[in-house]
Amino acid sequence: MKKVLLLLATCAFTTAAIAQTTPTTEVKVRDNGTKKVVTKTGKTNVGQALENTADAAGNVASKAGHKIKHGTQKAGRKIKHGTAKMEAKSE
């Protein structure tokens, strides 16, 4: 039952993300006579939320990867320094 609900929810989000209309362009004329062109992509709220979530997940993964890399480099330096001290003591 749990898997069926999860599958239905996934399908609903996927369908909502795909169900986007073609972009429309509107031209608005301001009070001072200038024109502003506005393009609407027509994304649904769910589709936009999914896109934002994917972007946020990518940012988190990138930051986590950077922290892991920095941590391993830092540990490597400490190990190298520790072994150099041990070699100096043993001589």
**pLDDT for residue 25:** 82
The helix/strand/coil state of 29 is strand
Q: What is the pLDDT of residues 11-34, one digit of tens each?
A: 555 555 555 567 778 888 989 989
70, 62 contact by CB (below 8 A): no
**pLDDT for residue 58:** 76
pTM assigned to the model:
0.36
Q: Which residue has the higher pLDDT, 7 or 50?
A: 50
From residue 20, how far is each of 12, 48, 56 by CA, in Å? 14, 10, 21
Q: What is the pLDDT of residues 24-79, one digit of tens each?
A: 788 889 899 899 888 777 667 777 777 777 777 777 888 888 889 999 999 988 88
